[in-house]
Structure 1
Amino acid sequence: MNGLAVLQSTAWYPPYSLGGTEVYLEGLTAALADLGVVSTVLAPRHADAPLEYEHAGVRVETYPVNESPTREEFKFGRPHEGFETFRAHLRRRRSAIYHQHSWTRGCGPHHLRAARELGMRTVLTVHVPGVTCLRGTMIKFGASPCDGYVEAKECGACWAESRGLPQPIAKAVARLPLAIGQCARRRHSRFATALSARWLGAEQLKRIAEMIVHADRVVAVCQWLYEALAINGVPTDKLTLSRQGLSKADLGALKSVDAMRSSRESPLRLLFMGRWDPVKGVDVVVRALRLLSQDASVRLTICAVPAPAGEDAYERKVRALAASDRRIVIRDPVARKDLAATLAEHDALVIPSTGLETGPLTALEAQAAGLFVLGSRRGGIAELVNEADGAGALVEAADVTAWAQAITRLAALHAQGRLNLPGRAVRTMAAAAAEMAQLYGAL
């Protein structure tokens, strides 16, 4: 693989943004370098970022994306401003393999198509439900997991319901002729947006069809996502399952957790790491803890990534819920350099997501560090947590009573000294990189 060049395209990248996909891609580029694959990262330019920079030994090139969609984008589906700069980056590296990791306005269908039009070999890794789900959660009408099959009327209705329409009205709106929805999409009002529900569902189908045409390979990072892509027509000879893994650097740090761990004596110390977002479900754990008596020997630490400006209603709601309970502590997000030390201070990681996760990496990190994992029985969490090994348990998502009962059982195990878990072997980014290198070679 020596000398093989790959252009890794993503909507966000460190140090200006740090989420699950960014951690994955940072680890992937490092592991690919060990195999002789040279990666260059291409990403929209953050407000504080230079035109080009180096991060963790990898060259990062950026291009401009206007903050708000223009009239031409909104009405006619044209690319964002600065797209020609993106295309110029592709032309300079057209001999490289193009590997896209996002499906957003700043790095999405237009970008994948541009690489294909320049004759580049293309790979798309799907990290989030939004490729198939308008709602972005894979939870049908907010009630039950969806298989991901895209149908214009049904998906449009589900999306409209998520925007506040009563379900019967949402379904009625989604049955309106496509022409009405297309016309409504061009108006800037809440009512017009609701009328575009069916059109949005049809556009989702169109984008999936274009994805199939423009991607030589499509990579799913979990089994349920693989199945959702397959049911929507991605051919099995294009579709690859390649799960996430932990980087060499993270694994090295996490091996030290047992030696760093503070007293395992009561109380049971729970940890949440995620975003302030309803789909992450931390309010469920807060409510569950409040159901327990005040003398219950349990503590919860919330280390959450702030929501974007103007979208902090959920954070404010959870903070208000937690304010009167001294057992709940809210801290800043955990920096990567502090991950091992933070895990060493806790006994169990809670992952109460209400939507379908494609990972999360936090589950692997906790397992590697020897923490018990208590997670929702949904999506990628259910794929990663094996209840039979005694190091994790699954709870019905959004069921506050079930979570309270699960926490009570966990506290009892902790009091009996049965949560003294060793770190476990987990999938590595080296394994994921080996799969990607093989895929690149086949192209």
Structure 2
Amino acid sequence: MKIALVTAYFYPISSGGTEKYVLSLAKSLIKKEHEVHIITTGTKNQMITYEDLIVHYVNDELSKDLKVLSSKKASDNLDDFTRILAENNYDLAHFHTLTPAFSIFHISAAKSLNLKIHFTAHVPSMTCIHGDLMQYGKYACDGLIQKQRCTACYISKKGLNKPISNIIAKTVNILNYPFSTATVVDTKIENLLELNNLCDKIFLFTNWQKEIFILNGFNPEKISITSQLLDKEIFPQTSVRKEIKNIGFVGRISHEKGLHILIEAFKLANRKDLQLHIAGILNDKKYFKKLKSKTERDTNVQWYLNLSKSEISEFYQTIDILIIPSITYETGPFVLFEAFENNIPVIAHNLGDMEIWKNKGFKIKIYDSTLNLKNCIQILS
């Protein structure tokens, strides 16, 4: 079978969990004797080879066209995307992102060429217009899309509190103005229903994802729970106990990854005998500068930015425990599996399916607040 894996993010232009999964999936499919190409964003009409994979590029969607950004209109790259599909005569298109660059219009175009359509949901924003399944950015949501609640939550991203956001949302929905805000929830519902109709299979990583997708109208028979561990067996856990001196964080430096919570808890714990090592992918410069300034006088906080694959592997050998402070639902995350692979214990926020790994016997401690995380750090030994 000839397969196109479609993603807005891929090496060597970007690096993260989705990129790692798509690369791993491609190699796994090749081992099963499928022919696999990547279609991603970059320099228009360029084609390269990355780790023996053919990678096709179309323009990224960088315009400020509200119709494109709100999924009411296709990106200008749609014709190039459709041409690549037609010229290569693929049997299957497997989408891994739903963004302005590769939207529901691109999935529809692939379907019109009689390709089978698969979709893997990597992030909470698939079903959430706030982007993180955190109501008003503060607490976990059940994921059910509701007009008033979701509109208010979306408006709160402007920095408004819950009561004010609710009042504005009611006014917006009554007046149907501004139109882009008044219809944002309806557009999300329409896109999800269309995604359900177009896809032959939908792959999810967690039980919480499955519950939310079904809650919002997806056909349960199309949904399969898959694993991010495509090229590895479950890691054997050894009982070797190591003295903890170096705490590690690995991931994107962005608000939803909760690095601010980890830094605050680390400073509150006041363990001068411990080191905090941060291996971050620079994603939000303003957020990074704010956190960096908070740690300027902390000689036991070390920053490492945009490390290569080999450097990340070396980084894991220098830490004794990994902390995952994400304030959003995670579909993995990949750093959790990398810690298990390196036999490194983990402390993680209780959102998502983290408890499942603990119940399977992996070395993971769950916390539920900044204060609780501070206490976890205080008693490390």
Q: What is the TM-score when the length of structure 1 is the normalising length? A: 0.80
Residue 77 of structure 1, aligned match among 34, 48, 72: 72
SS at structure 2 position matched to 1:313 = helix
Match of 1:352 in 2: 325
Q: Which of the residues 398, 402, 405 maps onto 2:372?
A: 402
| Residues 327/79 of structure 1: CA separation in 2 closer, same or farther (3 Å cut) | same
Paired with 1:36 and 1:150, the residues of 2 have a C-alpha distance of 41
What residue identity is the alignment partner of 1:126? Answer: A
- Residue 390 of structure 1: CA displacement? 6.4
Does the 8 A contact of 1:151 with 1:205 survive in 2?
no
Asked whether the 8 Å contact 2:246–2:320 carries over to 1, the reply is: yes
- The gaps in structure 1 that reach 5 residues or longer are 186-195, 413-443
Q: Which amino acid in the other structure matches residue 208 of structure 1?
A: L
Q: CA separation in 1, counterparts of 2:90 and 2:315?
A: 43
Q: Which residue in 2 is equivalent to 1:424?
A: none
> How far, CA to CA, are the matches of 2:123 and 2:67 in structure 1?
27
* Equivalent residue in structure 2 for 1:280, among 250, 253, 257: 257
Alignment partners' CA distance in 2, 1:388 and 1:166: 40
SS in 1 for 2:221: coil
CA offset at residue 118 of structure 1? 2.1
Helix, strand or coil at the partner of 1:304: strand
Q: Which moved more, 1:332-341 or 1:351-360?
A: 332-341
Give the structure, 1 or 2, with the largest relative contact order (CA under 8 Å, sep 6 or more): 1
User: How far 1:394 moved relative to its partner?
Assistant: 0.6
1:177 Cα shift? 5.7
User: What amino acid sits opposite 1:291 in the alignment?
Assistant: L
Identify which of 135, 138, 145 aligns with 1:140. Answer: 135
Paired position in structure 1 for 2:159:
164
Tell me the equivalent position of 2:202. 218
For the residue of structure 1 that corresponds to 2:211, the secondary structure is helix
Query: 2: CA distance between counterparts of 1:345 and 1:246?
Result: 26
The residue aligned with 1:416 is none
The 3-state SS of whatever aligns with 1:60 is strand
The residue identity in structure 1 corresponding to 2:192 is I
- Alpha-carbon offset, residue 382 of structure 1: 3.6
Q: Is the 8 A contact 1:53 1:61 kept in 2?
A: yes
Amino acid at match of 2:47: E
Alpha carbons 1:141, 1:162 under 8 Å: kept: yes
Q: For 2:314, which of 330, 335, 341 is the aligned residue?
A: 341
Question: Does 2:219 align with 1:238?
Answer: no
Give 2:266's match in structure 1, choosing from 289, 311, 322. Answer: 289
Pick closer, same or farther for the CA change 1:95–1:320 going to 2, 3 Å.
closer
Alignment of 1:430-441 (within 5 A): none
Q: Aligned pair in 2 of structure 1 residues 212, 167: CA closer, same or farther (>3 Å)?
A: same
Compared CA separation, residues 286 and 239, structure 1 to 2 (3 A) = same
How does 1:48-127 map onto structure 2 within 5 Å?
51-70=46-65, 73=68, 77-127=72-122
2:352 maps to what in 1? 379
Q: Please list every run of 5 or more consecutive structure 2 residues that lacks an aligned counterpart in the other structure.
A: none
Would the aligned equivalents of 2:8 and 2:101 in 1 still touch at CA under 8 Å? yes
Match of 1:428 in 2: none
Find the partner of 1:303 among 279, 288, 291.
Answer: 279
| Alpha-carbon offset, residue 388 of structure 1 | 7.1
Contact 1:64–1:83 (CA<8 Å) still a contact in 2? no
Matched with 1:190 is none
* 1:265-318 Cα shifts (integer Å, max 9, x gaps): 5x62111011111111111111111112354x21110111112xxx42211121
Instruction: Give me the identity figure in percent.
Output: 21
The CA deviation at 1:237 is: 0.9
CA contact (8 A) 1:273 1:333 kept: no
* 1:364–1:77 distance in 2 versus 1, CA, 3 Å: same
Q: Deviations over 1:83-121 (max 9, x none)?
A: 211111122244411110001110121111111122211
Distance 1:91 1:69, change over 3 A: farther
* 1:182–1:84 CA distance, 2 compared to 1 (3 A): farther
Matched positions, count: 380
Q: Is the 8 A contact 1:44 1:107 kept in 2?
A: no
Partner of residue 9, structure 1: 6
Q: TM-score, normalised by structure 2?
A: 0.92
Contact in 2 for aligned 1:8/1:98 (Cα 8 Å): yes
Matched with 1:200 is 184
Residue in 2 that maps onto 1:438: none
Q: Is the 8 A contact 2:252 2:282 kept in 1?
A: yes
SS in 1 for 2:212: helix
In 1: Cα distance, 2:98 partner to 2:337 partner? 24
Distance 2:154 2:211 in 1: 21
CA distance in 2, matches of 1:367, 1:75: 39
Q: How many angstroms does 1:408 deviate by?
A: 2.0
After superposition, the CA RMSD in angstroms is 2.6
| Secondary structure at 1:43 match in 2 | strand
Amino acid at match of 1:120: L
Q: What's the counterpart of residue 30 of structure 1?
A: 27
